[in-house]
Amino acid sequence: MDFCNNCEGTEQLENGEQRMCGRYYINDETAKEIEKLIRQIDDALLASCKERDVYPSAKAPVILAGSEQSDQLTAGEFTWGFPSYSNKGVIFNARSETALEKKTFRESVKQRRCIIPATGFYEWSEQKDKYFFRAPDRHVLLFAGFYRHYEDGDRFVILTTQANPSTSSVHPRMPLILSPQEVQTWLFDDNATDFLLHKRPAPLEKELKGQLSLFDS
């Protein structure tokens, strides 16, 4: 997601491809979307959706598969990013096109998929212009991701894909965004995983937010 000078992690990329940093935005609309998808949800989790930017290593709400028998959804507050190989920062993005080929991600993508709701996300251009991307209809974005259990708790990674025309002028990658109709399929249908990993997200609305400064974190 957005470019910055002091990010704590990098996307797991192929040789020579541009790296990404990450930041997305949640607010009351994010909480409302979680409530739509989940019948019973803890008030403390909804409270965690207070208006804020989410950075790698921060905790954020995620949507998970509950009971396979009833196709019920549940939610939790997980940490964004797997520990990196060098123990410096975290790995918080993974390429959707190759995630099933990577030993670090393969098992989690196959068995522990999740949805990360967000009102929008940020991206920096090469000219250091800061852009905010959101759905044209203002609906909450649903990022495809996966998670893993660690000693310090559950951690998630957001999948990215090739940018569509609405975002490619700013950055060559974007989050893998699912539609509300694809949520159940992503979480429960193992046979559809590979297909959804290669889907093209719908166009987004772009808003210029300013330029990177020495005080922008």
Residue 163 lies in a domain: yes
Residue 180 lies in a domain: yes
CATH number of the domain within which 137 lies: 3.90.1680.10
Domain hosting residue 199, numbered range: 24-207
Chain length of the chain: 217
Contacts 24+ apart (CB under 8 A), 125-130: 125/3, 125/169, 125/170, 125/171, 127/211, 128/3, 128/211, 128/212, 129/170, 129/208, 129/210, 129/211, 130/2, 130/208, 130/209, 130/210, 130/211, 130/212, 130/216
Reply yes or no on whether the pLDDT at 212 is more than 60. Answer: no
Per-residue pLDDT at 1: 54
Residue 193 lies in a domain: yes
pLDDT confidence bin for 167, thresholds 50/70/90: very high
Reply yes or no on whether the pLDDT at 195 is more than 80. Answer: yes
Span 111-165, pLDDT tens digits: 999 999 999 999 998 888 999 999 999 889 999 999 999 999 999 999 999 999 9
Span 19-38, pLDDT tens digits: 455 899 999 889 888 888 88
Average of per-residue pLDDT across 77-88: 89
Per-residue pLDDT at 12: 41
Residue 44 lies in a domain: yes
Lowest mean pLDDT among 19-33, 55-69, 195-209: 19-33
Residue 172 lies in a domain: yes
pLDDT confidence bin for 2, thresholds 50/70/90: very low
Predicted TM-score (pTM) above 0.85: yes
Number of domains in the chain: 1
Per-residue pLDDT at 68: 64
Residue 156 lies in a domain: yes
Residue 7 lies in a domain: no
Reply yes or no on whether the pLDDT at 81 is more than 50. Answer: yes
Residue 107 lies in a domain: yes
Per-residue pLDDT at 87: 75
Amino acid at residue number 30: T
Per-residue pLDDT at 215: 44
